[in-house]
Structure 1
Amino acid sequence: MNPDFQAGTDELRQTASSLSGTAARVTGAAASAPFPAPSPRWATTAAAQLAATAARDLLAQLGADTEETARQIRAAAEAYEEADARAAARLRLGR
């Protein structure tokens, strides 16, 4: 354990909040992306529809993964604070 290590939990929470905002924008962009028009039925229409669906799905997954990262950052900040509280309690009991 390094006694010089400090976790800035306020900064971690701010980062998580910012990341959640980014995740919401990415997920919203995926949900609001227009579907390609099915006509005219050119040779590339099916490929274009498949590519658009894949891009939409990828953006939705990216948004979900980004939100999960934000959740994990918030959990880490909470864990750091809980560890600090436990250490402070042990120090108080040791006096």
Structure 2
Amino acid sequence: MRAAAAPADTGRAFGLHEAKESGMTSDPLQWFRSSYSGQGGECVEVAPGLVASHGVVPVRDAKRPAGPVLRVGVPAFAGLVAMAKSTRLAA
């Protein structure tokens, strides 16, 4: 089994870029959005900073940054990314 990448490398591995938000936030996590996201607003953000320390990838709705956060285990998230890369998902 391959060890999880360091948080700084994890974002690059998933093709992510830093999410830009307006205004101040007290959120200590650094959130990223897929570099494949369009301007439609139908995307999620991930915060890979907890991968090494907690083994989870926090995921949230990009339109609701103050909303609930889903914490996905690294193996499940890696499987989701692999499926998305290999399959055309229907809208």
Instruction: Please indicate the TM-score interval, normalised by the length of the shorter structure.
Output: under 0.3
Please give the TM-score of this superposition, normalised by the length of structure 1: 0.27
Please give the TM-score of this superposition, normalised by the length of structure 2: 0.28
Structure with more strand by fraction: 2
* Highest RCO, 1 vs 2 (Cα 8 Å, sep ≥ 6): 1
Structure with more helix by fraction: 1
